[in-house]
Amino acid sequence: MKNKQPTSVAPEACRISPGNADPAVACGPCAEQVQMGGDEVSACPERTIAVCVDDFGLNTGVNAAALHLAEMRRVSALSAMTQAPEWEDGAARARLLDSRRIDVGLHFNLTQSFSGAPALGSVQTLIAAAHLRLLPKRLVREALLRQLDAFEEEMFRVPAHVDSHEHVHHLPVIRDVVLDVLLRRYGGTLPWLRVSAAPAASLSGGLRSADGRKAWLIDHLVGAEPFRRRARSLGFVANRRLLGVYGFDATESGYGSLLRRWLRQARSGDLLMCHPGSLAVGDVISRGRCVEFAVWSDPHLPHLLRELGVRIAPLSALRAATA
């Protein structure tokens, strides 16, 4: 285990001014319900959601961004890739975070290769193999056990939640293994599970937009609802819906607009995923990570949250809202 002095600084590689997004977007007068693109959204009272940084451990820029936003109280959860090169260093810093404010969980990975940890295949390959029941359960189980071991070895505790890279934990075969392993391993202290079910408003555009197509694929082809039903039948708790799906290609103002839309759609118990970071060689979405970090670290964001009646809290604190 690495023993470095824990520090957290904003990613220096992102030189994007966070001042472009207009924070002064209000819900209007306090009302019981407002309509947003087919979803009823509470404008008052306050809604409580979780905000999770994915890919923690991937590189130093992702780690720095995640820890900085955690200290700013802009996010409430980190999902860790325990095979990634900067996981041990990130874990040493994550252990110092207040676990009452920040949940740290496992970002189960089967689709991205790291040194000494080859992927089982691309997400497209896994989707096909899983639906055809050609994916060996043994390989999935071994990968999950190794990653859980690596998490516990560095964090000295069990994961607060479990989700996955590219949402593969919803797939047939994989979901059976995930639920079985977690039940056997953790018993009465089951982790929170992510269900990547999109709001109706995100799906209402259907195949007319790239973001709508991506949300539809995650919700339907990967199998969010079958996973939710099976998990709940076994006693697991999950988030209500997933916000934050887009193509990682937005400008800063564009992502700011998306964030405002997601916050307006939000209901208590929802989970908003984000991927902040800095420019990094080999990270194909690093420009998008810079944009996300700029928006999430914007000094006006707390004002926007207050205007829209949204409070950010850990996943574990939302169990009562989603049970």
Asked if residue 16 belongs to a domain, the reply is: no
Asked if residue 12 belongs to a domain, the reply is: no
- Domain encompassing residue 284: 34-322
Asked if residue 11 belongs to a domain, the reply is: no
- Asked if 10 and 293 count as a contact pair (C-beta separation under 8 A), the reply is yes
Query: Could you identify the residue written with the tokens 């209007």?
Result: 28
Query: Could you identify the residue written with the tokens 């709508």?
Result: 212
Indicate the number of domains in the chain: 1
Q: What is the pLDDT of residues 258-308, one digit of tens each?
A: 999 999 999 999 999 999 999 999 999 999 999 999 999 999 999 999 999
| CATH number where 197 lies | 3.20.20.370
Burial of 235 (0-12, 13-18, 19+ CB in 10 A): exposed
Separation CA 1–CA 3 (nearest Å)? 7
pLDDT at res. 321: 47
pLDDT at res. 183: 98
**What's the pTM?**
0.84
Core vs surface per residue 294-316: b (16+ CB within 10 A) or e:
bbbbbebbeebbebbbbebbbbb
Separation CA 11–CA 109 (nearest Å)? 24
pLDDT at res. 224: 86
Asked if residue 283 belongs to a domain, the reply is: yes
**Strands annotated E in 135-265:** 161-164, 192-193, 242-243
Asked if residue 47 belongs to a domain, the reply is: yes
Asked if residue 18 belongs to a domain, the reply is: no
Q: Residue 238 contacts by C-beta under 8 Å, 6 or more apart in sequence?
A: 192, 193, 194, 195, 228, 231, 232, 322
- Asked if 54 and 275 count as a contact pair (C-beta separation under 8 A), the reply is yes
Asked if residue 22 belongs to a domain, the reply is: no
Q: What is the pLDDT of residues 239-264, one digit of tens each?
A: 999 999 999 999 999 999 999 999 99
Asked if residue 24 belongs to a domain, the reply is: no
